[in-house]
């Protein structure tokens, strides 16, 4: 299986609710990043968390990283219809030279008004 795997694959929530998605990976990382992709568009970087960090916040986003479990979570609080998108985690592997990111399959989030 692939380096980064998101869970769940799809998520449907009501506006105002929180959305949580998880990412698991297999090998040691330098950092883990989360990206958002609106349908048919490019990816937009949301947040980067380094291997020596445990939690980061950016606006309504909260990312945690547990290197012992090789997992990360992305929490979107007070979701809005505009948060409807696919969310991807990407890992920068410690063993890989250069700025090579490995992307997971993504979580599709639908926020219903």
Partner 1 sequence: ETGVTQTPRHLVMGMTNKKSLKCEQHLGHNAMYWYKQSAKKPLELMFVYSLEERVENNSVPSRFSPECPNSSHLFLHLHTLQPEDSALYLCASSQDWDRGNTGELFFGEGSRLTVL
CA distance 34 to 61: 10
Q: How far apart, in Å, are the Cα atoms of 58 and each of 68, 73, 89, 113?
A: 24, 14, 16, 23
Least Å from the CB of residue 23 to partner 1: 12
Smaller CB separation from partner 1, 45 or 112 = 45
**Interaction site with partner 1 (CB under 8 A):** 2, 4, 30-31, 33, 35, 40-45, 48, 50, 88, 90, 92, 94, 96-106
Is residue 109 within a helix (H) or strand (E), and if so which, with residue range?
strand 107-112
Least Cβ distance, residue 111 to partner 1 (angstroms): 22
Least distance in angstroms from the C-beta of 14 to partner 1: 27
The span from the CA of 11 to the CA of 20, in Å, is 9
Which CB, 39 or 68, lies closer to partner 1? 39
């Amino acid at each position: 299986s692939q380096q980064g795997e998101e869970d769940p694959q799809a998520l449907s929530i009501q506006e105002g609710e929180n959305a949580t998605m998880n990412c698991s990976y297999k090998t040691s990382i330098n950092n883990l990043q989360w990206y958002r992709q609106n349908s048919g568009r490019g990816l937009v970087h949301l947040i980067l968390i380094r291997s020596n960090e445990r939690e980061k916040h950016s606006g309504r986003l909260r990312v945690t990283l547990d290197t012992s479990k090789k997992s990360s979570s992305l929490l979107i609080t007070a979701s809005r219809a505009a948060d409807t998108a696919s969310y991807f985690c990407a890992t920068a592997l410690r063993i890989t030279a250069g700025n090579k990111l490995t992307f997971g399959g993504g979580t599709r989030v639908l926020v219903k008004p």
